[in-house]
Chain A
Amino acid sequence: MTEKMATRDAYGKALVELGKEQERIVVLDADLSKSTKTALFAEAFPGRFYNVGVSEADMMGTAAGLAASGYIPFASTFGVFATGRAYDQVRNSIAYTRLNVKIAATHTGLTVGEDGASHQTLEDLALMRVLPNMTVIVPADGNQARQAVRAAVRHEGPVYLRLGRPKVPQIIGEDFPFELGRGQMLNEGKDLTYITTGIMTAMALEAAEELKAQGVNASVVNIHTIKPLDESLLVQAARETGAVVTAEEHSILGGLGGAVAEVLSQECPVPLIRIGVKDSFGESGNPDALLEKYGLTARNLVQAGHAVLEKKAKCCQ
């Protein structure tokens, strides 16, 4: 494990790298460029950076117009504004039109921290994944964020890229290939499967270690692409282990857990426990304290692992 890096920092750096390679890449921000890290691109390529001020709806439409003219715009702001504030613009001007706009949203989930519930989107994955034509990506760490930005550019069409504020441990090696729409089996076990995304993947690896010491072998599948979802890998993991725990820094409604439940209930029903924020808003606080309070820790994943094994024992004898 190398030093920690925030996915938004990796995004800012990757944009500059890509900006050098492809002159059709342009970047838009809505007065948060220092926080979203698009300021790095603005400094490197001032002629290809547009700050539209505090107007996220306008930013999405402007990005659509740039894409309609052959540019590859990245539009960045906090996740809560990118998805909620500008939902109709994302729906009608970007998703419906299949325009090549990359929405790169930072400050997602509880780990926004002290700014509190108004700024902590816990529903963005649900909102974005129900839009036809939208690809939804959640990198697990800085390395993966860098790969994801490149993958977003290679993909022709709208992308929602979910990035975070805090520094997070590097868990995915630089050499681990990023394939859009493909889940990653990071650890193989026979007893249960953790299906996780974003910062929860590191915790799942930690939980799997702890369970191993207790004689339980857990698989860990990192889902960096929420849509299109790697259904075959999910079904395979469910079939092999017979018990699934999902975890995300998002509401348990409509996000990764919801998506996994949709697939497995049809294709391979097994006991399932969803870890996430339980249909509530967040609040101000230190990010780690918030993760603790809302039940998003490795310890919670270990408990859920035991609980799902009990369900498995009861219902599948």
Chain B
Amino acid sequence: MPTLSTAEVEELKLKARKLRRDILTMIHRAGSGHPGGSLSVIDMLVFLYYRVMRINPAGYPGEERDRLVLSKGHACPALYAVLADLGFFPAEDLEQLRKIESHLQGHPDMRKTPGVEMSTGSLGQGLSVANGMALAARMDRSARQVFVILGDGEVQEGQIWEAAMTSAHYRLGHLTAFLDYNGLQIDGWCRDVKCSDPMVDKWKAFGWNVQEADGHDFASLQEALGRARSYPDSPSMIVAHTVKGKGVSFMENQVDWHGKAPSAEELEQGLAELAT
């Protein structure tokens, strides 16, 4: 894959800042939600949706689109911000997040929200689903790529490792997983709650091609994906080092911001920090 030019990186950064503002605003309006993980994953989503994936919001669903499963479904404000920005639905819908009759559920619902490929929320289930999508693409002799985003707390779920073996066994080279490796989960640091390290070695041992990246650096993500693409016969895991709450000073690395809405003042401060 070609490296990103400085101008391209700047453009993606601007987009990510705008979407971070959308995330904070929608969670504030909803009065609940998960800002920490949404802010740690948003750069990955921007990278994938604006640089990598072949999608056509106007022609959705359309069979030949690439697929993305947000297995850590609680980070859906980030996904909703992207999908609205891409035109899957009107931006004003974001004001209805988590409200009754809204198509924007607290966790993603594929039957309600255009552009959401899979309903998630109960952790650990998305990688299996992505495997099924990748097997389908192979049977269809399609060039569809399948992406899945996992949380680092999420990989404590046993199903992730069942699925990891399936991906490797079936040599799903067109499947790429991104691990949002922010180190925090609801009850504290992952290494204190139940340590999953060494993360890279674990995925390697399960038969995956593993690359590491700075999950907030678009050039780094691009390089990692480029390296991953040179292994067509094995699934790729990109362990993306991230900061929970990234971009908002008082949320960064603070476990309390896993699942809490910012107040009006906190929103104002956050938006000021993210101003362009």
Interface residues of B in 95-130 (CB under 8 A from A): 109-111, 117-122, 124-130
**Residue of B whose beta carbon sits closest to that of A58:** B162
157-171 of chain A: CB within 8 A of chain B: none
Q: Are B128 and A62 in contact (CB under 8 A)?
A: yes
B69, B110, B136: the one within 8 Å of A71 (CB): B136
Whether A104 is near chain B, meaning CB under 8 Å from some CB there, is no
Do B162 and A65 touch (CB < 8 A)? Answer: no
Say whether A65 contacts B122, CB under 8 Å.
Answer: no
A69 CB-CB contact with B under 8 Å: yes
For the complex formed, measure the closest distance between the CB of B143 and the CB atoms of chain A, giving whole angstroms.
14
Q: Are A65 and B133 in contact (CB under 8 A)?
A: yes
Q: Is the CB of A58 within 8 A of B128?
A: yes
Contact in complex: A70, B136 (CB < 8 Å): yes
Counting CB contacts under 8 A, is A294 at the interface? no
Are the C-beta atoms of A61 and B119 separated by less than 8 Å? no
Interface pair A57/B128, CB less than 8 Å apart = yes
Q: B126's closest neighbor in chain A, by CB?
A: A61
Q: How many residues of B contact A (CB 8 A)?
A: 36
* Residues of B close to A59: CB separation below 8 A: 128
Give complex CA distance A194, B103 in Å.
Answer: 45
CA distance A62 to B117 in the complex (A): 14
CB distance from B3 to the nearest CB of A (A): 32
Q: Determine whether B56 belongs to the interface, using a CB cutoff of 8 Å to chain A.
A: no
B67, B118, B121, B129: most-surrounded residue (chain A CB, <10 A): B129
- Determine how close the nearest CB of chain A comes to the CB of B132; give it in whole angstroms: 2
- Residue among A48, A59, A69, A97 with most chain B CB within 10 A: A69
A273 interfacial by beta-carbon distance below 8 Å? no
B121 adjacent to A92 (CB under 8 Å): yes
Tell which of A26, A50, A61, A70 touches B125, judged by Cβ atoms closer than 8 Å.
A61
B139 touches A71 (CB 8 A): yes
A interface, over-half SS? helix
- Decide: A98 near B111, CB < 8 A? Known: A61-B125, A92-B125: yes
Query: A89 contacts the other chain (Cβ, under 8 Å)?
Result: yes
Would you call A237 an interface residue if the criterion is a C-beta within 8 Å of the partner chain's C-beta atoms? no
State whether A50 touches B170 (Cβ < 8 A): yes
Interface range on chain A (Cβ under 8 Å from partner): 20 to 34
Minimum CB–CB distance for B171 against chain A, Å = 13
Is B159 a contact of A89 with CB atoms below 8 Å? yes
0/1 interface trace, chain B 44-69, chain A, CB 8 Å (1 if under): 00000000000000000001000101
User: Is B40 part of the binding interface, using a Cβ–Cβ cutoff of 8 Å?
Assistant: no
For B129, give its contact among A52, A53, A62 (CB under 8 Å). A62
Partner of B111 from the list A48, A69, A97 (CB cut-off 8 Å) is: A97
Within 8 A of B (CB), among A33-76: 47-48, 50, 52-53, 55, 57-71, 73
Q: Decide: A60 and B119 in contact? CB cutoff 8 A.
A: no
Within 8 Å of chain A (Cβ to Cβ): is B92? no
Whether B170 lies near A93 (C-beta < 8 A) is no
How many angstroms from the CA of A55 to the CA of B158 in the assembled complex? 10
Interface residues of B in 142-180 (CB under 8 A from A): 158-159, 162-163, 165-166, 169-170
> Known: A57-B159, A92-B119. Is A69-B128 also a contact (CB below 8 A)?
no
Does A96 sit at the interface, judged by CB under 8 A? yes
Contact partner, A68, options B117, B139, B165, Cβ 8 Å: B117
Kindly report which residue of chain B lies nearest to residue A96, judged by CB atoms: B119
Report how far A63 CA is from B139 CA in the complex, Å. 14
Q: State in angstroms the CA–CA spacing of A251 and B136 once bound together.
A: 38
Q: How far is the CB of B26 from chain A (nearest CB, A)?
A: 23
Q: Is the CB of B119 within 8 A of A26?
A: no
A88 to B125, CA, bound (A): 9
Give CA–CA (A58, B159) in the complex, Å.
Answer: 6
For chain A residues 68-87, which have a beta carbon within 8 Å of chain B? 68-71, 73
Interface centre among A59, A62, A63 (most CB of B within 10 A): A62
B113 nearest CB across to chain A (Å): 12
Residues of B within 8 A of A71 (CB): 136, 139
Question: Which residue numbers of B lie inside 8 Å of A, CB to CB?
Answer: 63, 67, 69, 109-111, 117-122, 124-137, 139-140, 158-159, 162-163, 165-166, 169-170
A residues near B (Cβ < 8 Å) are: 26, 47-48, 50, 52-53, 55, 57-71, 73, 88-89, 91-93, 96-98
Q: Which 6 A-B pairs have the closest CB atoms?
A: A65-B132, A61-B128, A69-B136, A55-B162, A58-B162, A65-B129
